[in-house]
Structures are given as C-alpha cells and as structure tokens.
C-alpha cells in the first residue's frame, strides 16, 4: 500500500500539531497523585459481533475513550477515524520472526498498517506480540529485535510518538509472593527481560502486563479470600518484608512486577495493565466464575482506577488499565470462561450492569433494545435512576457530555426536546440572544442541552446516551465562547 502524503489532505503544520497533541496523550498517566485511565480490549474471535462502526458508537455511549486491539485490521482502524478514541494496535506473534530479521518487513508493515490511518485514527501504541514468553512456537528470541525494528520504522516515517511495548503474563515471574520478593524467571532475564526494559526506557515507553487475580483465586481458594480478590472490604494482607498492607490481590500482583523491575534497577519504567478481567461464566472447576463476581471485580476496579493513587509500592503512580473484554467471543477455544469475559453480549446488551464512569451502577442500564440502533429511542424511556451512580469530580475528574458529530439530526433534535423538556435541563443559555446561542447549529445546541442534563443527573451511568447520539469527553467542549457547566 502506498504511503499517504500528509499534504494531500491537510497541511504539514496541522499534521505536526496533531502529532504533538497525540504525543502528549502518552504522558497523561504520569502526573503523580492523579487518577489513572482505563480502556477496554476489543477482541473479535467471534462470528456474531456488531460492525466496527457500531462498536465505536457503543464505546462512545459508555464514555470509553481508549481501546486495545489484537491486530491492525484496516476496517476497524478506519471505523475509529475521527472518533477521538485512542487506539492501541498489535503485531501478531506469527509476524515476530520476519520483523526481527528484516527491517524492510517492518517498514512495509508500518506503511500498510499505520500510515494510512494515523493520525486521523489516534494510534497510541503498538503491542509487538502478546504473552510471547508462553507462546508454544517459541517466538521469545525474536521479541526485542522485532521491537527495535518496528521502532526504527516508526522513526523513519516520523511517527515515533507511537509507543512500542509487548504484553507479558504474570507467568514471567519466578516469585510473586510476597510482592516485595517479586522477580522474573532467571532464564528470561538476560536474553529478553533486560533488553526489553532497556528498550522501553530508551524510547520512553511502558511495560504492558496482563494480570488476572481470577486465576490465582480459582487455584488457591483455600488461602485467598474472595473479598481480597474482588476489591471488597477485607482485613488485608501484610507484606512481611516491608510492612506494606494490601487490600486487593490485584495491587499485590502489580507490585510484584514493580519489585521484579526494581530488582533489575528499572524503577523508572512505567506500567500499563494491558489486560485484566473476571469471567461471568465458567466450567464446574473454574471456581468463582459468575456474573456477580465479574460485576464486583470490574465495577470495583473501575472505581479503584478512577479514584486516583497507585499501589502500596508506587503510591504516586496512577493505575492505567485495559479491561478484558468488550464482548463475549463465541469462537475462542479453551474452557467456558474464555468465551465469557465480555462486558457486553454481541447484541450490545450488558452482561451485567456496572458503571464505567466510576460510580455505582445505575438501577437500570440505558435501553439497548437488543443492540439494534434502528430500534433505540431518541430519548431514555425514563430518567436515570436517582439511587447511586454519582460520579463526582473527586473520583473521576471533570467530564462533559457532548453530541456525536455523526448523529442523525432527528436524534439530536429529539434529544434536545427531551433534555430541555421532561429532562428539566437548563436550556436558557441556548435561547436566541443568550450566551450559548452562538454558534447557532444543532450539534452545538444539542451538546449544551445534553451536558446540562448529564450534569444535573450527577454524571450517572446512562445519563449521557440519548439513543447513541451523545458521548462523554474529558476536555472542556469548545463551541464559540460558551462555557459548559460541570455541576449544579
């Protein structure tokens, strides 16, 4: 595929500005004491999933702003163009040998898989391989050379702001308890762990880690309490070496990886949890797999991440996490749990109801009507539940609700009618002559009305939906000189 010429669709200046903006996203997790971010893994090993464009709208309706893919499918990346959703893509394990042995291969891969989409699709990172150390095809020796070649190709085409990493499983650890004794398997350290951490440090990237407390709990129910695994109230576990107290198995697992990096003098390398989750269903021997436990784990994890702060070992580093997964995937091999990690069924109905904005789950989820957007009403059938679901600025920071720029005019108008009518939003500022009347267009007026309704309802889950015509943003909306409120 030919390399696109940036000047053919926008100026070089605009391209550079966009690149700077995107680059700044990579460091958003570094502010000490701030809340972390969370995204979601979008796997597609299934034959019944909605189209990528429908997935983009679903993510927007749920306020999800980051997604991680397991490939670099052109159709999927095209669907995310202009969405504002930050995307991580992947180079599959089967490509690592060629990538390690040929710079021309990675040049071609970047030309075909990255350049046609970037920066209209905000590609934040490339995962080179996935859990390579447990790959039965023994691709471990190719990992770091492949990462170096991909990075060289990004530099060659002036897109090196895209980060390079590779998700590792916790099985890469030789010791994980107590957390302070965390260490990598000795046979991995010199051949691959040290070179990989050196690469991440040199390029300003971060280590991707797949962490699943479910596996540890299911295999050790006699010694690990369910409350400890699910972020519920518990007496905690004290690390006997440093006295730190852990209230969750997740924190303990993450700190074991931090300790393992520290033992190799890589305390300055950041981390992103590239996968974590809990199955809503499993086989008889998969103890703990249930909808209730999955809802507790993922719901509590979202609040844990968005409430700010880090782990006991690194308290000032916010947690940055990708939930696994967006959908139940009916063609995944393995035990029943493998096909039941999704937050949503393929028809876009929730498997269980949790808030993805940090509050308690709403009493009733937004109407999905079996996931068919043609059936979704242009306004909620009832106002959001009044019990629970509050999302204050102290837990998730400032957020706003805006109209989707590709929503149908009929949906936008119906949403305005509802918000300004029975929704009791304050729509006086968008009346003729008022402060937010200009710009006088449907999207701007709908955004103001939607946000007023969203803030009035305390930013509860489902209050920024409007039949899929609205989504949550974390930067103040800009429509003329209008100032959008953040609370009432």
CB atoms within 10 A of CB 261: 21
Question: From CA 200, how far away is CA 235, in angstroms rounded?
Answer: 37
Using CA atoms, how far apart are residues 402 and 485, in angstroms rounded to an integer?
A: 12
Q: What does the block give as tokens for 43? A: 């796997």
Q: Choose among 477, 479, 452, 474: nearest CA to 463.
A: 452
Give me the residue label for tokens 């070179």. Answer: 195
Reported as half-sphere exposure (CB side, CA atoms, 13 A), residue 276 has a value of: 30
Q: What's the distance, CA 215 to chain centroid?
A: 21
**Residue 157: is it exposed, middle or buried by C-beta count within 10 angstroms (0-12/13-18/19+)?**
middle
Using CA atoms, how far apart are residues 227 and 232, in angstroms rounded to an integer?
5
| SS3 at position 424 | coil
Q: What is the rounded CA–CA span in Å between residue 449 and residue 484?
A: 10
Instruction: From the candidates 94, 124, 131, 233, give the one annotated as an active-site residue.
Output: 131
Please answer whether residues 250 and 296 qualify as being in contact, where contact means their C-beta atoms are separated by less than 8 angstroms: no
Closest-CA residue to 244 (of 308, 183, 179): 179
Q: Please tell me the distance from the alpha carbon of residue 151 to that of residue 196, in angstroms, as a whole number.
A: 13
Taking the C-alpha atoms of residue 23 and residue 440, their distance in angstroms, rounded to an integer, is 33
Please count the CA atoms within 13 angstroms of the CA of 285 that sit on its side-chain side. Answer: 2
Residue 124 appears among annotated catalytic residues: no
Asked if the peptide bond before residue 439 counts as cis, ω within 30 degrees of 0, the response is: yes
| CB 66 within 8 Å of CB 356 | no
Question: Catalytic: 131?
Answer: yes
CA-nearest of 387, 323, 336, 332 to 360 is 387
Which of 124, 190, 233, 275 is an active site residue?
Answer: 275
Q: CB within 8 A of 433, min separation 6: which ones?
A: none
At 176 the three-state DSSP class reads coil
Strand partners, 322: 39
Q: Indicate the burial class of 331 (C-beta count within 10 angstroms; 0-12, 13-18, 19 or more).
A: exposed
CA distance 89 to 480: 35
- Give catalytic residue positions: 131, 275
């Amino acid at each position: 595929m030919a390399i696109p010429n940036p000047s053919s669709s926008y100026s070089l200046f605009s391209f550079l500005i966009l690149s700077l903006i995107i680059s700044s996203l990579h460091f958003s997790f570094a502010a000490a004491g701030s809340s972390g971010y969370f995204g979601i893994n979008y796997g597609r090993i299934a034959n019944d999933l909605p189209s990528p464009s429908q997935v983009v709208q679903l993510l927007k309706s749920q306020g999800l702003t980051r997604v991680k893919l397991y490939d670099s499918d052109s159709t999927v990346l095209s669907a995310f163009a202009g969405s504002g959703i930050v995307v991580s893509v992947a180079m599959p394990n089967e490509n690592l040998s060629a990538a390690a042995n040929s710079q021309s291969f990675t040049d071609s891969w970047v030309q075909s898989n990255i350049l046609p989409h970037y920066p209209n699709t905000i590609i934040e990172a490339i995962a080179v391989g996935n859990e390579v150390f447990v790959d039965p095809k023994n691709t471990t020796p190719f990992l770091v050379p492949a990462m170096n070649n991909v990075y060289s190709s990004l530099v060659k085409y002036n897109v090196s702001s895209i980060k390079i990493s590779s998700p590792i499983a916790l099985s890469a650890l030789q010791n994980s308890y107590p957390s302070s004794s965390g260490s990598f398997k000795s046979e991995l350290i010199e051949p691959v762990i040290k070179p990989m951490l050196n690469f991440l440090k040199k390029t300003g990237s971060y280590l991707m880690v797949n962490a699943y407390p479910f596996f540890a709990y299911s295999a050790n129910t006699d010694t690990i309490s369910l409350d400890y695994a699910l972020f519920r109230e518990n007496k905690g576990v004290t690390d006997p070496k440093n006295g730190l107290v852990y209230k969750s198995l997740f924190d303990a697992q993450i700190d074991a990886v931090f300790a393992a990096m520290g033992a190799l003098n890589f305390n300055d390398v950041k981390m992103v949890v590239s996968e974590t989750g809990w199955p809503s269903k499993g086989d008889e021997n998969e103890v703990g797999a249930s909808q209730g436990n999955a809802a507790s784990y993922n719901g509590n994890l979202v609040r844990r991440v968005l409430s700010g702060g880090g782990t006991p070992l690194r308290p000032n580093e916010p947690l940055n996490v990708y939930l696994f997964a967006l959908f139940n995937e009916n063609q995944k091999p393995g035990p029943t749990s493998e096909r039941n990690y999704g937050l949503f069924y393929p028809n876009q109905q929730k498997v269980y109801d949790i808030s993805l904005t940090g509050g308690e789950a709403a009493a009733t989820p937004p109407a999905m009507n079996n996931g068919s957007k043609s059936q979704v009403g242009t306004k909620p059938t009832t106002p959001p539940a009044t019990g629970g679901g509050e999302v204050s600025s102290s837990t998730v920071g400032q957020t706003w609700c805006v109209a989707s720029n590709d929503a149908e005019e009929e949906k936008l108008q119906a949403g305005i009618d509802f918000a300004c009518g029975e929704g009791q939003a304050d729509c006086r500022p968008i009346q003729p002559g008022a402060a937010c009347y200009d710009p006088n267009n449907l999207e701007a007026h709908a955004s103001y009305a939607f946000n007023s309704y969203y803030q009035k309802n305390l930013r509860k889950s489902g209050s920024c939906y409007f039949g899929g015509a609205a989504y949550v943003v974390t930067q103040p909306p800009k429509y003329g000189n209008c100032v959008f409120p953040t609370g009432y």
